Amino acid sequence: MGRIPARENVLESLRLLEYRGYDSAGIALIDIHGKIHVEKTTEKVESLCQKTGNMPGCMAGIGHTRWATHGEVSLRNAHPHTAGSVTLVHNGIVENYLALMQEMAKTGRVPASDTDTEVAAMLMDCLYDGDPVVALTRAMGRIEGGNAFAVLFADRPGEIYAVSRDAPLMVMHTQDGSFLASDAVALLRYGETMAVVPDNTVVRCTASEIRAYNLSGQPAQLRYGNACWTASDVELAGYSHFMLKEIHEQPQVLSRKMDFSSVPEDVLRDATDIRIVACGSAMHAGLAVKDYMEEQTGLCVSVEIASEYVSGALRHVGKPLFVFVSQSGETADTLLALKRAKSIGAKCICVVNVRGSSIARAGDYVVYTQAGPEISVASTKAFTAQVVALALLARRMSGRGLSLELEYDPAALAEKALKQENAIRRIAEDLSCAENIFYLGSGMDLALAREGALKLKEISYIHAEACATGELKHGCLSLVEPAMPSVMIATGREGLGRSLTSAEEIRSRRGRVYLIVPEDAKIPDGCCDGVIRIPTASGISAAVPVAVCVQLLAYYCALKLGKQIDQPRNLAKSVTVI
């Protein structure tokens, strides 16, 4: 809000946040008389732009893209929601919404939607006696769960209020006015200095200033800092998709220095084992580094799916040290697992990309992966940065004062792998005709096979499954049909012979095999249907070039099939619900 028209600003911000995935969108503008104008769509932000063409010029407004949780995708469930003098947008889940809804029903309020959000608007309206800060602080005292709200009050035309707990919220003030968002990407075009709003802090934004209040209504301080990202980081820069841009950024990303100084060198002093907890690609990064971390630390390392870690008793024989990995730092499953680990008094290291994110704030020690903003839903540069960060963390934790460098330079390896782009594109075109694809590997290569299969499924919608190379003959081989492709990753010299045997088993059933092997690997003529050569590197270092190859395979496969690469169906970039 401020000195520039709110409609255009809010719509442009929503456009910038489209990458996060959404199924409906909406905007509310407040004019100088306190009249609130709302428009919504169940289509893309572009359709909201068209629908709002005749809205009056207002200097204050809020907007939202919704990913449905409570209630179907519909106009009435899209945000903003209004109750009395309150109009708000919301991220998160009001966990006690049923109880609150019953309470609101007793006050005669009737919901107009199926959402948990509307009850928060009703509650704030109910608690509003002319002081928005009081209404918001009291409402936060009643609302359970991780939530952020941006709120308009009909009798406060020049003001926007916001509050959050365990949900991202940041603010920025410039000569053009005050801006708030749940994602720094929406703010970067106004400047680089912003403040992450601390939990349970209410902010009041006007054209001339931003004020903050704690839950007792007393003035609070906001700490402004540099976002580390710039507006150009979130532009396509000539690439056809953000995914391709982000794949190509890997040499640059992996050459950045990461700072491990927040992690004490004796962090393992009391630890009996290490547990890496994460979701999706971040979890695969943990799997890729597991063996290396065991070698370096001498401790047993387990890798856990965060969503499997949130219910039931937390097993903690001994004193585990936890490592939580997340690109966004907002993944609800990971955040919840982190809170459970903290509740048993465990030490938690967080390996995160987004500064100031909820996971970064909740851990004991944080390491930033420095990958820059990742816009494509399919994680690429964030994944390789996580692998490198975890490997370097393992060296730091070894307590042997090892230099924070891997045997091979990951940036150079990524650069060399990108040189295979044309060969990979040709193989991807073969893969694009398949209905099912196996990704095979052993040890670290199995983790990369999982990542390759996930990437392919995510953006091409082809069914892909990862299997341990040696396990194939124990069951999955029955699925191999003539022409069915398998991508076999074999980076280690020792395992190559066994991989080639498995390749034979597939090919003798007329399946097709594409190998990903080091450039110096000796493979017999005619043993496969295609080869991708990665630069020679040993151990954990080989993870980076393999990852680049499977990312390009997925990208070109989806491109050939004409899929929506950066925003695949049904998926959100940052999964803030459990």
Asked if 182 touches ligand AGP (CB under 6 A), the answer is no
Cβ of residue 246: shortest distance to ligand AGP, in angstroms? 11
Which residue of 139, 282, 489, 553 would you call a contact of ligand AGP, by CB under 6 A?
A: 282
Q: Which is nearer to ligand AGP, 201 or 326 (CB)?
A: 326
Asked if 65 touches ligand AGP (CB under 6 A), the answer is no
Is-cis flag, bond preceding 80, omega within 30?
A: yes
Residue 2 DSSP one-character state = B
Cβ of residue 387: shortest distance to ligand AGP, in angstroms? 13
Q: Which is nearer to ligand AGP, 415 or 458 (CB)?
A: 458
Asked if 280 touches ligand AGP (CB under 6 A), the answer is yes
Residue 420 DSSP one-character state = T
Q: Please give the order of strands across the beta sheet that includes 347-352.
A: 301-305, 273-278, 320-326, 347-352, 365-368
Cβ of residue 158: shortest distance to ligand AGP, in angstroms? 36
SS3 at position 98? helix
Which residue of 377, 393, 427, 578 would you call a contact of ligand AGP, by CB under 6 A?
A: 377
Alpha helical stretches, state H, 226-321: 242-248, 250-254, 280-297
Asked if 378 touches ligand AGP (CB under 6 A), the answer is yes
Cβ of residue 575: shortest distance to ligand AGP, in angstroms? 5
Which residue of 125, 458, 529, 566 would you call a contact of ligand AGP, by CB under 6 A?
A: 458
Distance from the first to the final alpha carbon of the chain:
32
The first and second tokens of residue 414, run together, are: 């990524």
517 membership: H or E segment, kind and range: strand 512-518
- C-alpha distances (whole Å) from 30 to each of 3, 5, 85, 183 are 14, 11, 11, 22
Asked if 250 touches ligand AGP (CB under 6 A), the answer is no
Q: Which is nearer to ligand AGP, 288 or 575 (CB)?
A: 575
Block residue for tokens 């004193």: 319
Do the Cβ atoms of 37 and 58 come closer than 8 Å?
A: yes
Cβ of residue 29: shortest distance to ligand AGP, in angstroms? 32
Q: What is the CA radius of gyration of the chain?
A: 25
Asked if 379 touches ligand AGP (CB under 6 A), the answer is yes
- Return the residue nearest ligand AGP (CB atom): 280
Dihedral of alpha carbons 469, 472, 476, 482, sign: positive
Which residue of 65, 296, 327, 502 would you call a contact of ligand AGP, by CB under 6 A?
A: 327
Do the Cβ atoms of 33 and 157 come closer than 8 Å?
A: yes
Which residue of 276, 575, 576, 578 would you call a contact of ligand AGP, by CB under 6 A?
A: 575
Cβ of residue 60: shortest distance to ligand AGP, in angstroms? 31
DSSP letters along 434-466, please?
-SEEEEEESTHHHHHHHHHHHHHHHHH--EEEE
Which residue of 328, 369, 460, 551 would you call a contact of ligand AGP, by CB under 6 A?
A: 328
Asked if 567 touches ligand AGP (CB under 6 A), the answer is no
Asked if 279 touches ligand AGP (CB under 6 A), the answer is yes
Kindly list the residues in this chain that would bind ligand AGP in the complex (CB under 6 A).
Answer: 279-282, 326-328, 331, 334, 377-379, 458, 574-575
